[in-house]
Structure 1
Amino acid sequence: MFGKSGNGRGVVSMTEHDKQKRLAPLRLLESYWQGLAGETGEIPLRSHIDPRGIESALEYAFLAERIAPTLAKLRVAGSHLNDLMGMETGGMPLSALFAADARETLGDAVSRVFAEGAAVRMDLRGEAGLGKNDLIGHMLLLPLRSDMGDMTRLIGVLTTTGRIGRTPRRFSIDSVDIRPAIVMPSTGARFTTVDDRTEPRLTDLAEPAAPFAPKAPAGPGTRSRGHLRLVIDNDED
């Protein structure tokens, strides 16, 4: 903490500041999700997610798909999740990040995201052990719809405070807050805007583009392809 005098006046505790910094990716994702939902008054589509809208939170973010009523599989995950597990997490179940005794609670929360369109916030604690320092985590889960309209996708953020230490790091659940995801009325503009003139960046939620190879001009009647999307989902809805 910092202060201007020895009498306690002007002393600023960094604890609250650090907490707000830690939760910033969760607030950013929630605001972005609300902005998308406010355009239609419905749960956003998975295909509407643009990584540029949550750029500063990408390393903590992930997209997951429903594979059972209480299970979700990570389709794309930011680098922080890979760091926590010490391996690539894309294709793993979300439950792999949790201790065995926390998976039932997680499953109940995941089922409500998909069944009710609920928003879930969790306070997490890393498992203790040799080479595993104190680690505090915060997770946000928000529902998404597939292009078929079914609620089988979710987007989330996982942030932590503390040294990761020996991996993999799995979490227990200290608290769970489940509430309806509020869809804001449309205002004609997104809550979080994106400058379309900005050059797209290949970041954690984007798969690398294939090398560019010049092609001959299209012949008459040939349809041109649209722009490459930043987020590529290899499954078919």
Structure 2
Amino acid sequence: MENPNTQTLYRYWNELRAGRDAPGRSEVDPRRISGSLETMFILEARDDGQMRFRLAGTRLCEWLGMEARGCMAEAVMAPGHEQELSDLARRVLRSPGVGVMRLRAVDNAGTDWSGEALLLPLRSELGDLARVMGCVNLDAVDRRRKPQPPLRLRSLGSRLTPIEIDPGLAAQDASARMAADPLGALRAPDGGKTGGPSRGFAEAPAGFGHAPREDAVEHRPQLTAIEGNPSAPRDADPTAPRRGRPNLRLVKD
């Protein structure tokens, strides 16, 4: 790891895992790594073995010339190198280990760029090793000189370093996750009662509500139709022909 942003992300992840094989995705606080966010990404391991982008930083998407979120890992690689990133990501989760890939890429102007990619294992909201947090950093990029999209990545080689795990902390962490959530799902700080956001990069779970009481039906919020001017008077007879009125109606709660 040669790029300062790559080193910063690794140090934060290593501190966060605290002797475990990997931290949980919901533990990641973006404010602690604000300088690395623009070139970061999170990959998701799908049931079919493919790796898909769950998140991608704005600068990384600008370099690639596309919104990477929702794309397979192969989409950001150059022809002949399609499987390099996804293969390393699967090895990172299977080992688990820290993956580093040396990169070279050519942008739309024909300029060569060198750099590196870092891949780090994360536990998903279900507690399994199914997420990879990483970043792509290119050398000699500044405000005056930057890639002209689209940019595609080529692997010059990769290395996987096994993670040193403290067995006691790993067992303690597994017990803590099970005690906190027997179903394996990390809930929002408010227990999902108010639908508030969960911590870090975790997605807020859907809240559960009780069936409405019969005596509360009349207090439900009503729908208000807006047609042009919301304060304009409505027709007395809703079945009367609508002369010259638009077909599109906006409705708000």
> Is TM > 0.5 for Structure 1 vs Structure 2?
yes
Alignment-derived partner of residue 66 in structure 1: 45
Superposed, 1:1-237 pairs within 5 Å as 23-38=3-18, 41-67=20-46, 71-127=50-106, 131-161=109-139, 162=141, 163-183=145-165, 229-233=199-203
Give SS of 2:116's match.
strand
TM-score, normalised via structure 1 length: 0.66
Q: Distance in 2 between matches of 1:169 and 1:64?
A: 19
Q: What is the CA–CA distance in structure 1 between the aligned matches of 2:135 and 2:4, rounded to whole Å?
A: 10
Q: 1:124, 1:66 → 2: CA distance?
A: 22
Offset of residue 62 of structure 1: 1.1
SS in 2 for 1:182: coil
Shift of 1:42: 3.6
Number of paired residues? 178
Contact in 1 for aligned 2:103/2:115 (Cα 8 Å): yes
Cα distance, 1:183–1:36 mapped onto 2, change above 3 Å: farther
More contact order relative to length (CA 8 Å, sep ≥ 6) = 1
Residue 215 of structure 1 corresponds to: none
Q: Would the alpha carbon gap of residues 156 and 61 (structure 1) be closer, same or farther in structure 2, given more than 3 Å must change? A: same
Q: Secondary structure at the match of 1:102?
A: coil
Separation of aligned partners in 2, 1:235 and 1:140: 29
The one-letter code sitting in structure 1 at the alignment partner of 2:10 is E
RMSD: 2.7
Shift of 1:29: 0.8
Instruction: Supply the AA of the counterpart residue of 1:149.
Output: G
Deviation at 1:165, TM superposition (A): 4.1
1:173 offset after TM fit, Å?
0.7
Looking at structure 1, the residues matched to 83 and 68 of structure 2 have their Cα atoms a distance apart, in angstroms, of 20
In percent, how many aligned pairs have the same letter? 29
- Paired letter, 2:155: I
What is the alpha-carbon distance in structure 2 between the residues aligned to residue 100 and residue 67 of structure 1?
23
Checking the alignment, whether the CA contact within 8 Å between 1:44 and 1:144 is kept in structure 2 is yes
Distance 1:49 1:134, change over 3 A: same
Once the 2 structures are TM-superposed, how far is the Cα of residue 234 of structure 1 from its aligned partner? Answer: 7.0
Q: Which runs of 5+ in 2 are unaligned?
A: 170-192, 207-253
Q: How far apart, in 2, do the equivalents of 1:55 and 1:93 lie?
A: 25
What is the letter of the counterpart of residue 33 of structure 1?
W
